[in-house]
A and B are shown apart, each in its own frame.
Chain A
Amino acid sequence: MWKAASNWVLDWIAGLGGFALFARDVLASMLARRPRGPLLVQVHLIGVKSQAVVLITGAFTGMVLAAQTYFQFHKVHMDTATLAVVGVSMCSELGPVLTGLMVAGRVGASLAAELGTMRVTEQIDALRTLATHPIDFLIVPRTLATIIAMPLLTAQAIAVGIGAGYVVSVYFLGIEPAYLWANTVTFTNLQHPVMGLIKSVIYGAIIGLVACYKGMNCGEGAEGVGRATTEAVVYASITILISNFFLTLILNRIIPAL
């Protein structure tokens, strides 16, 4: 029992160390040379192709949040503050976090499975024999593409979420639009979307790095690829949720209310 626990801790520490070295190599490659792989293709695959799922998530989250807030605020006659809650929540928390989780599920799994399959079919070894560093050609374009795509997707999710919340508030719940919008603009200031977009860039880096690391270090065969795919999604999602708490504390301190 004790031995199993100590082995688990040692494996965990070794994994963390491996990930830190991997992230260092990726960062060094990003700073030292321009991407050798097809960056725009990856931005398309990661960003453009994730739009539908992110927009649907953003829209329905905004709608539910508006409805739920209204049902509570109506009891204390604060109906017109409904969309302000939606705005602040979508901009600073729900927009980046839900977009991060959806992209971690869709893109993280895809990246880990693609790279894992390349590894078990010796394609990554082939790349190395062709005098090409896998980090330069495979990892940097994918991680950069995720970092570029995430703020764009988050901005879309926020905009659609607030828009959907507005539609529900005005046309389904009958809130007076002028007061609703006035309160939204009063309470949602520039600090919130800036905070959300900074978070989204960090989540993009987390998704890209975790998924690529898991794919590049997957076990043998179909089982190894399957496990790497699952772990990529789970670890990226958990890291996003945990880091969100600390980012919220830090960003609220360093970004003044604008």
Chain B
Amino acid sequence: MIETRELRKGFGPQPVLRGVNLRIESGEAVVIIGRSGSGKSVLLKLLIGLNRPDSGDVRVDDESIVAMNERELLRVRSRFGMLFQSAALFDSMNVAENIGFVLQQSRRYTEREISVKVSEALEMVELPGIEQKKPSELSGGMRKRVGLARAIVYRPKIVLYDEPTTGLDPVVSDSIDQLIVRVCDRLNVTSIAVTHDMRSARRIGKRIVMLHEGRIHASGTPDEIFSSVDPVVSRFVKGISDLRDTPIQP
């Protein structure tokens, strides 16, 4: 279970989050939507302790993480996996080394066991046999899949996705969405995705939360959100710009 209480975060004079209260139960698949710059990625990084809030609390399994130092956070982060927007693969390592990184670092597995687990993870993301390739040899979609394999190979309880389909064509986006749903169902993990891709949000979320002006503006099932009459939610899910209401000055 992850919970935020009155979470606030700003950069310089600009407040980004102005008191976010959110509770995500174990096993939920939650998608956080919102306009660019609304603080979605900032919220995601606060949940895993990559950034520190200005005030408020983040609790993971009823344990507050905001006052933890970096070493204490490592213990909490071992329950998380995260897929970054750019995949953030280690470019000095090949695919197998990237995926097996955590297993290698834990020093609890033999080379053979790591190799088997890496192959299984690659098969799960439908990319078998690319262990020896370098990240620079992969396409954007392949990089995201390898990033996903790296995030799930050690069976975390919570997986965070930062803009998982941004920059991908619709077909590849669909395949990534399917993978996320499959990972959530098969591994029974809590999924938290941040996106402004509404097709993707509908496919992967069992609950959609909308962030607007630094606060949670709406929360509900995909059907509730997509049929919402709230003007802010409705405009966003339909992709209608505020500019249409603004008369163009001569």
Query: Which one of A121, A123, A129 contacts B48 once the chains associate, using CB atoms below 8 Å?
Result: A129
User: If the complex has contacts A126-B90, A128-B77, are A133 and B71 also in contact, measured as CB distance less than 8 A?
Assistant: yes
Residues on the A chain within 8 Å of B75, using CB: 131
Asked if B81 lies at the interface with its beta carbon under 8 angstroms from chain A, I say: yes
Chain A's interface size range is 10 to 19
Query: Which one of A118, A122, A123, A131 contacts B74 once the chains associate, using CB atoms below 8 Å?
Result: A131
Interface residues as binary, A120-147 with B (CB distance below 8 Å gives 1, 0 otherwise): 0111011111111100010000000000
Interface members, chain B 52-97 (any A CB < 8 Å): 70-71, 73-75, 77-78, 80-82, 84-86, 88-91
Query: Which one of A123, A129, A132 contacts B81 once the chains associate, using CB atoms below 8 Å?
Result: A129
> Shortest distance in angstroms between A171's beta carbon and chain B's nearest beta carbon?
46
User: If the complex has contacts A128-B50, A131-B102, A133-B70, are A122 and B77 also in contact, measured as CB distance less than 8 A?
Assistant: no
Asked if A49 lies at the interface with its beta carbon under 8 angstroms from chain B, I say: no
> Shortest distance in angstroms between A245's beta carbon and chain B's nearest beta carbon?
36
Asked if B226 lies at the interface with its beta carbon under 8 angstroms from chain A, I say: no
User: If the complex has contacts A131-B77, A133-B71, are A122 and B101 also in contact, measured as CB distance less than 8 A?
Assistant: no
> Using a CB–CB distance below 8 Å, which chain B residues touch chain A?
45, 48, 50, 70-71, 73-75, 77-78, 80-82, 84-86, 88-91, 101-102, 105, 150-151, 160
29 A-B contact pairs sorted by A residue (CB < 8 Å): A36-B105, A118-B90, A122-B85, A122-B88, A123-B88, A123-B89, A123-B91, A125-B45, A125-B50, A126-B82, A126-B84, A126-B88, A126-B89, A128-B50, A128-B73, A129-B48, A129-B160, A130-B77, A130-B101, A130-B105, A131-B75, A131-B78, A131-B105, A132-B74, A132-B101, A132-B105, A133-B71, A133-B74, A137-B105
> Using a CB–CB distance below 8 Å, which chain A residues touch chain B?
36, 118, 121-123, 125-133, 137
